Amino acid sequence: MGFVGTVLGIFGFGFGITAGLVIGYYFFIYIQPSDVADPEIRPLVEEDQETLQKMLPEIPFWVKNPDYDRLDWLNKFLEYMWPNLNKAICATVKGIVKPIIDEQIPQYKIDAVEFEALTLGSLPPTFQGMKIYVTEEKELIMEPSIKWAANANVTIAVKAYGLKATAQVVDLQVFALPRITLKPLVPSFPCFANIFVSLMDKPYVDFGLKVVGIDLMSVPILYRFVQEIIKDQVANMYHWPKTLEVQILDPAKAFDRPVGLLHVKVIRALKLQKKDLLGASDPYVKIKLTDSKLPSKQTTVKMKNLNPEWNEDFNFTVKDPLTQILKLHVIDWEQVSFHGSFFFHLVVTLNISCFAQIGKHDKMGMNEVPLKDLTPDEPKLMTLALVKKKDTNDAQNDKSRGQLVVELTYKPFKEEELPKTFQQTKTLLVRAPDNTPDGGGMLVVIVHEAEDVEGKHHNNPYVRILFRGEKRKTKKIRKTRDPRWEEEFTFMLDEPPINDKIHLEVYSSSSRIGLRRPKESLGFIDINLSNVVNNKRINERYHLIDSKNGRIQIELQWRTKD
Amino acid sequence: MGLVSGMFMGMVFGISLMAGWRHMMKYRSTKRIAKAADIKILGALSRDDLKKICGDNYPEWISFPVYEQVKWLNKHLSKLWPFVAEAASAVIKESVEPLLEEYRPPGITSLKFSKLSLGTVAPKIEGIRVQNLKKGQITMDIDLRWGGDPSIILGVEAALVASIPIQLKNLQVFTVVRVIFQLAEEIPCISAVVVALLAEPKPRIDYTLKAVGGSLTAVPGISDMIDDTVNSIVTDMLQWPHRIVVPIGGIPVDTSELELKPEGKLKVTVVKANNLKNLEMIGKSDPYVVVHIRPLFKIKTKVIENNLNPIWNETFELIAEDRETQELTVEVFDQDIGQDKRLGIAKFRLIELEPETPKEVNLNLLSSLDTLKIKDNKDRGSCTIKLLYHQFNKEEQLIALEEEKRILEERKRLKEAGVIGSTMDALDGAASLVGSGVGMVGTGIGTGVGLVGSGVSAGVGMVGMD
């Protein structure tokens, strides 16, 4: 009895437990509805104290911290948009997943895998506060607190051998605190080139995973385990300082980086027309590339020569070879006569900007070469017929004005030389050029902007830089208390400027003549350069001395060859 | 015995295991659902909710204005502004210049930007409000304030004078921008965006005009002309119910529903005016009336000379696009040598009319509609008009739409041909002040333009009825 009874007992127990599980499964789980109901949301005012107590840890950041901003308008927006967004996202997911499933299932002898239900639920993600950081760099940093407690329902049914098994994900909840950085800021829409996203904390993830109706996640150990794995996996990928980089604008376009070099050799001109009344003309060639901020370049003047030979070389950086055009003007140089010079003097005092146009330099002819006509890396010898004006069917164009012989070579930079991403551009930027002396480097001073600079009599601020006896200055910005210069100055140095200081002073000068105080100082600042050498780069806002509230943002870089 | 008890024990154990599991499932599920409900509530808190949660420790820094504050957006905007300003200048130049061309007053031959920079001061968003007024649409109102220092120099060419650079200074824009997002069921879920300036509170766009290196008095009336142009553009293009519809995201959608369409026709009979103010030195005023709903379509009665109680009895038809918000503007002018003087202005809200029911109203004339500008409360007389509003059916609507298009094109063609400007100058120097109405075209060149005149040279029917 004893032994047999025990064996029978164990056997019976085994049988019983199977039957019990089946019955229990049928009674308690199988007949339970598997669809997800909308949670009942009661107005907060009606809640009792106990429920409120439970809610306390979830109170949004903007309530707790004054430096967070409320984003309820965005929540509302999302809420209204959510039904559409839900449908759109689900349709997209189905569209992507379906072909993959169809391709995979024949290998596994499965009849069909299909979505029985796919919805993200009626609850949209919510923003529980937004914090932003203001730095001196060209970037926008924001940290929204995103909480998505969804009543999502994703049910996948697998059919094989005439049986059906379902796996269901319900009540997905994701809480995360991502940092979104938009940088660098660029002057073309949408005004930033990249988006960087990284998580500042391990995200909170919770969900129910039902396999044939049984929620596996309700086994406490398993739940912990799965949650930890997910958190670690996500954290490994995107936890700060690791980031997800999304490129919005092409870096070359965004930064206006040159993509190639144009080599221009002005060889000679032939049969130029006589312009001077006495003797032959004194020609020189002015070369300009369109859409380029670089000033035009010019050859030497060949005196009294209508068939001058120059053989001079010029280089231009090219940003867009498809649209840029090289313009060549042959100009007759003329000395300004005594009469002219008197007049000239008068005009200059009145308006300095007229300077370039003063002195009667006759145009002898011009022509243009669109860069798209050039084959890359192939020198092209061109003989250009000079005309008076381009793109007009002017009768005067028929007149022969001579010819200009030039040799043009367009050398695009090699693919690998071009910076691919923002990070690469950054590293490329901080290197000094190759001709820097060993042990030395390049000191770069970037004068960004100033605020609240106030002059007593006028407010046309500019900055003067004094460094080792060298003086530089920015352009003058008229009538503003918050000038923005964004100008860069470089100093080549043989050794690091550890014991040096740089002196920057903001001045205002009046454009009016005869004012009693033509120039006044709006404040200055001395910066020790040893920190710059140690840190390579310092970008800070300094309070101006001798100024009430004035501040100035200066970026200093110490670039070495390596 | 062992077998049976074993089986029983096993069954009890199995069932209770399942029951326990189910209990756990239920427990975890309720917990999750409760959390979801909490998060949902906390995503849209009101002042009372917060009071209830926080009790006595209610944080002082929190307030709940109608337009929710967006300090973070402003901070970002001010940092981003130099870049936005540079990028936007080109876009504005491209998009606004054709507009200026379309709305430029007849006295000016060319109106272009010769310099445009948006300055260093970023606009400030006072607040944002999101509403769901219509199914399938999200309405977002942005309270925008911009007291900027942009440098805008307009190159203005008038008929007689060469190009004058005119600088727009101290621009101030206070307005509520209404953005309506039309939802769709495909990503990006927005099929079109409608942008308009909310009419209430009325958009305030202030600026001072200054001629560069000269004086504005060189061309009399030029600042009025520019004011008029800006005003027309704002009220006829941007201010609700007028709107700009921008389709988005490559989804081919029918945006015609969103566009402003002729909705009905208003038959206006200008009967008479009483006790008009006398502005003439000698004799009495020579009054005439200009009526419009949209400033682009102004119609004028004939002038009755030397009369302060004139009777016109002239009937016009005007198209209404949005009965709920549009108004009929009635202006009485005194024809004079040089500029015509305004004797009074009055507005009548179309919503007060019952469709197909004639109504006679007596409008009190005011010196200006801007209550801040009214200096005197002197009685400026009244104007009696008869109104009949007719709601269009589908077919009539289409006809009216076509007609409106045709008139606009006709106007454009005339403008290009230079007919309007010159004809107007020759006919009536004062006409330019009245503005750029089609009605003016009618008076200027009569039926020769192809508009349907109703006998009297001044009465130009907008729609070729009957």
Percent of chain A with pLDDT over 70: 84
Does A211 contact chain B (CB < 8 Å)?
no
Lowest-confidence pick of A50-59, A359-368, A523-532, B379-388? A359-368
Question: Which is more confidently placed, A198 or B262?
Answer: A198
Look at A149 and B10 and tell me if their CB atoms are within 8 Å: no
Model confidence at B435: pLDDT above 70: no
Model confidence at A464: pLDDT above 90: yes
> What is the chain A residue with the closest CA to B64?
A70
- Most A CBs within 10 Å: which of B29, B31, B42, B131, as the mutation test of the A interface? B42
- CB-nearest to B6 from A12, A75, A150 is A12
Does B134 contact chain A (CB < 8 Å)?
no
The Cα–Cα gap between B226 and A298 comes to: 45
Going by their DSSP bridges, the two strands A192-199 and A153-160 should be labelled as unpaired
Model confidence at A254: pLDDT above 80: no
Model confidence at B244: pLDDT above 80: yes
Lowest-confidence pick of A69-83, A420-434, B161-175, B369-383? A420-434
Does A541 contact chain B (CB < 8 Å)?
no
Does B92 contact chain A (CB < 8 Å)?
no
Does A195 contact chain B (CB < 8 Å)?
no
Does A137 contact chain B (CB < 8 Å)?
no
Burial state string for B123-149 with b = 16 or more CB within 10 A and e = fewer than 16: bbbbbbbbbeeeeebbbbbbbbbbebe
* 8 Å CB contact between A27 and B21: no
Look at A171 and B21 and tell me if their CB atoms are within 8 Å: no
A450 pLDDT band (50/70/90 cuts)? very high
Model confidence at B437: pLDDT above 50: no
Does B59 contact chain A (CB < 8 Å)?
yes
Model confidence at B49: pLDDT above 70: yes
The Cα–Cα gap between B436 and B420 comes to: 9
Model confidence at A334: pLDDT above 90: no
Q: State residue B465's pLDDT score.
A: 34
Q: State residue A109's pLDDT score.
A: 78
**CB pairs below 8 Å between A and B: how many?**
282
Model confidence at A439: pLDDT above 50: yes
Most confident range (mean pLDDT) of A304-308, A498-502, B51-55, B250-254 is: A498-502
A481 pLDDT band (50/70/90 cuts)? confident
Does B69 contact chain A (CB < 8 Å)?
yes
pTM (predicted TM-score): 0.71
- CB-nearest to B17 from A24, A72, A81 is A24
Is the N-terminal amide bond of A190 cis, ω within 30° of 0?
A: yes
- CB-nearest to B25 from A64, A81, A218 is A218
Model confidence at B464: pLDDT above 50: no
Model confidence at A301: pLDDT above 90: no
- CB-nearest to B17 from A21, A87, A188 is A21
Q: State residue B143's pLDDT score.
A: 92
Q: Compute CA distances A275 → A268, A329, B131, B465, whole Å.
A: 18, 15, 73, 70
Does A307 contact chain B (CB < 8 Å)?
no
Model confidence at B212: pLDDT above 60: yes
Q: State residue A427's pLDDT score.
A: 53
Write the secondary structure of chain B as one string of H (helix), E (strand) and C (coil).
Answer: CHHHHHHHHHHHHHHHHHHHHHHHHHHHHHHHHHHHHHHHHHCCCCHHHHHHHHHHHCCCCCCCCCCECCHHHHHHHHHHHHHHHHHHHHHHHHHHHHHHHHHCCCCEEEEEEEEEECCCCCCEEEEEEEECCCCCEEEEEEEEEEECCCEEEEEEEECCCCCEEEEEEEEEEEEEEEEEEEECCCCCCEEEEEEEECCCCCCEEEEEEEECCCCHHHCCCHHHHHHHHHHHHHHHHHECCCCEEEECCCCCCCHHHCCCCCCEEEEEEEEEEECCCCCCCCCCCCEEEEEECCCCCEEECCCCCCCCCCEEEEEEEEEECCCCCCEEEEEEEECCCCCCEEEEEEEEEHHHCCECCCEEEEEECECCCCCCCCCCCCCCCEEEEEEEEEECCHHHHHHHHHHHHHHHHHHHHHHHHCHHHHHHHHHCCCHHHHCCCHHHHHHHHHHHHCCEECCCCCCEECCCCC
Question: Which is more confidently placed, B2 or B190?
Answer: B190
What is the ipTM score, two decimals?
A: 0.71
Percent of chain A with pLDDT over 90: 16
| Mean residue pLDDT across chain B | 77
Lowest-confidence pick of A97-111, A141-155, B236-250, B298-312? B236-250
Cβ partners under 8 Å of residue A414, min gap 6: none
Q: What is the mean pLDDT of residues A194-200?
A: 91
- CB-nearest to B14 from A18, A70, A188 is A18
A346 pLDDT band (50/70/90 cuts)? very low
Q: Compute CA distances A358 → A333, A335, B89, whole Å.
A: 12, 11, 31
Q: State residue A504's pLDDT score.
A: 93
Collect all residues of chain B within an 8 Å Cβ-Cβ radius of residue A44.
41, 45, 48-49, 52-53
A340 pLDDT band (50/70/90 cuts)? very low
A49 pLDDT band (50/70/90 cuts)? confident
- Most A CBs within 10 Å: which of B32, B54, B70, as the mutation test of the A interface? B32
Does A30 contact chain B (CB < 8 Å)?
no
Collect all residues of chain B within an 8 Å Cβ-Cβ radius of residue A47.
52
Per-residue pLDDT of A113-127, as tens digits, reads 888 888 888 899 999
Residues 170-199 of B with CB under 8 A from A: 181, 183-187, 189-190
Indicate the domain borders of chain B.
68-247, 264-397
The Cα–Cα gap between A167 and A209 comes to: 7
Model confidence at A434: pLDDT above 90: no
The residue type found at A250 is: D
Residues 7-46 of B with CB under 8 A from A: 7-19, 21-22, 24-25, 27-29, 32-45
Percent of chain B with pLDDT over 90: 5
| Nearest chain A CA: its distance from B202 CA (Å) | 23
Look at A482 and B120 and tell me if their CB atoms are within 8 Å: yes
Identify which of B415, B398, B402 has the alpha carbon closest to the alpha carbon of residue B449: B415
- Most B CBs within 10 Å: which of A71, A72, A212, A255, as the mutation test of the B interface? A72
A510 pLDDT band (50/70/90 cuts)? confident
The Cα–Cα gap between A240 and A179 comes to: 8
Model confidence at B77: pLDDT above 50: yes
Q: What is the mean pLDDT of residues A89-93?
A: 90
Q: Which CATH number is B264-397 given?
A: 2.60.40.150
